[in-house]
């Protein structure tokens, strides 16, 4: 399929916001684009078509993409009921309450079936799909049965951008460590790095970019300064983002994102090699 996957070095590094920006930029260029997240752990859900339930983050990304939010965009939602159990929402409907080990052992095949069917639906109805990962792809204790990171990139056969949050500190270790813990075939799928939440003069990071590119062999495709007040929903149950009185500022955030990344390269990675024939890019 034509698409791209945004993975991160950790939770809350900017995966969902990157997806929202890419969705809005493509929509403004006239591309029929859909967001996708195979599995989202969140108590922040919304009702979409036919009263089905998906994560608020994927609904926001659909809004950014100027398209209707559908259950195929988020086939699995885990709504934590306590620190050990979660209510599983499958294809928008309640499925079961499970603990982590039961979910791993009992649900994997059912979950992958729903994910593959949802990806097939989106590929058949949209020109491009923007896929969001969860947490980190380097959770080595979970990777044999994970349902949300590199297994999904392989299933969709899309390139990956790896996002890191420089505001947290340790950005070099988090990027290099994540890549080192990936299988070689998965590491080869990572085609670009994005440094998010930068504060100060980006020229001060030029040596850092050079170091990362030399050490990893992967280009840094963007250094994105912090932008507050966009009002766009965060990715999962731990994130809180107060909405602006006027609603989410998708255009402002997308324009900010585009200004600080190599958008033509990202567009080509998605499989859209031709320049848009119409539409506008936010300023």
* pLDDT (mean) for 125-137: 97
Residue 235 has pLDDT above 70, yes or no: no
Task: Tell me the domains of the chain and their CATH numbers.
Answer: 3-268 (3.40.50.300)
Do residues 134 and 37 make contact, with C-beta atoms less than 8 angstroms apart?
A: yes
* pLDDT (mean) for 171-177: 97
pLDDT tens by residue, 99-127: 988 998 889 999 999 999 999 999 999 99
pLDDT tens by residue, 38-96: 999 999 999 998 999 999 999 999 999 999 999 999 999 999 998 899 999 999 999 99
Closest CA to 13 of 226, 272, 254, 276: 226
Across the beta sheet with 76-80, the strand order is 39-41, 76-80, 85-90, 93-99
Confidence of residue 233 (pLDDT cuts 50, 70, 90): low
Give the rounded distance of the alpha carbon of 170 from its chain centre: 21
Residue 240 has pLDDT above 50, yes or no: no
User: What residue spans of the chain are helical by DSSP H?
Assistant: 15-28, 56-64, 100-106, 108-125, 150-156, 171-180, 184-189, 206-216, 250-260, 263-270
Instruction: Judge residue 99's burial from the number of C-beta atoms within 10 Å of its C-beta, 0-12 exposed, 13-18 middle, 19 or more buried.
Output: exposed
Dihedral sign computed on CA atoms, order 194, 133, 4, 147 = positive
Structure tokens at 255: 């324009």
The model's pTM is 0.92
Instruction: Judge residue 58's burial from the number of C-beta atoms within 10 Å of its C-beta, 0-12 exposed, 13-18 middle, 19 or more buried.
Output: buried
Q: Residue 247, by phi and psi: left (phi above 0), alpha (psi -120 to 50) or beta?
A: left
Structure tokens at 44: 């922040």
Task: Give the per-residue pLDDT at 207.
Answer: 96
Do residues 254 and 64 make contact, with C-beta atoms less than 8 angstroms apart?
A: yes
Residue 262 has pLDDT above 60, yes or no: yes
Task: Give the per-residue pLDDT at 232.
Answer: 86
Please, what is the average pLDDT of the chain?
A: 91
Task: Give the per-residue pLDDT at 244.
Answer: 42
Confidence of residue 152 (pLDDT cuts 50, 70, 90): very high
Task: Give the per-residue pLDDT at 213.
Answer: 98
**Total residue length of the chain:** 283
Instruction: Judge residue 207's burial from the number of C-beta atoms within 10 Å of its C-beta, 0-12 exposed, 13-18 middle, 19 or more buried.
Output: exposed
Residue 168 has pLDDT above 90, yes or no: no
Task: Give the per-residue pLDDT at 210.
Answer: 97
Confidence of residue 229 (pLDDT cuts 50, 70, 90): confident
């Amino acid at each position: 399929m034509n698409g791209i996957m945004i993975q991160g070095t950790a939770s809350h590094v900017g995966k969902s916001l990157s997806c929202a920006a890419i969705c809005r930029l493509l929509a403004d260029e006239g591309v029929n684009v859909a967001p996708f997240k195979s599995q989202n752990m969140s108590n922040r859900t919304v009702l979409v078509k036919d009263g089905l339930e998906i994560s608020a983050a994927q609904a926001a990304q659909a809004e950014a993409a100027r398209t209707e939010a559908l259950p195929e965009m988020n086939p699995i939602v885990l709504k934590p009921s306590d620190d050990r159990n979660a209510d599983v929402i499958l294809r928008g409907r309640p499925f079961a309450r499970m603990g982590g080990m039961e979910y791993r052992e009992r649900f994997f095949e059912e979950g992958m079936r729903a994910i593959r069917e949802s990806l097939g639906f989106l590929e058949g109805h949209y020109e491009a799909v923007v896929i969001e990962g969860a947490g980190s792809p380097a959770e080595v204790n979970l990777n044999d049965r994970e349902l949300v990171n590199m297994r999904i990139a392989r299933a969709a056969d899309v390139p990956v951008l790896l996002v890191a949050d420089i505001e947290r500190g340790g950005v070099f270790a988090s990027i290099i460590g994540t890549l080192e813990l990936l299988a070689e075939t998965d590491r080869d799928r990572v085609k670009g790095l994005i440094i998010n939440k930068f504060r100060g003069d980006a020229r001060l990071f030029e040596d850092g970019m050079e170091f990362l590119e030399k050490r990893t062999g992967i280009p840094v495709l963007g250094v994105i300064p912090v932008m507050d007040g966009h009002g766009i929903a965060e990715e999962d149950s731990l994130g809180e983002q107060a909405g602006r009185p006027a609603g989410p500022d998708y255009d402002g955030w997308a324009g900010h994102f585009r200004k600080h990344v190599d958008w033509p390269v990202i567009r080509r990675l998605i499989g859209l090699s031709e320049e848009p024939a119409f539409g506008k890019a936010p300023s």
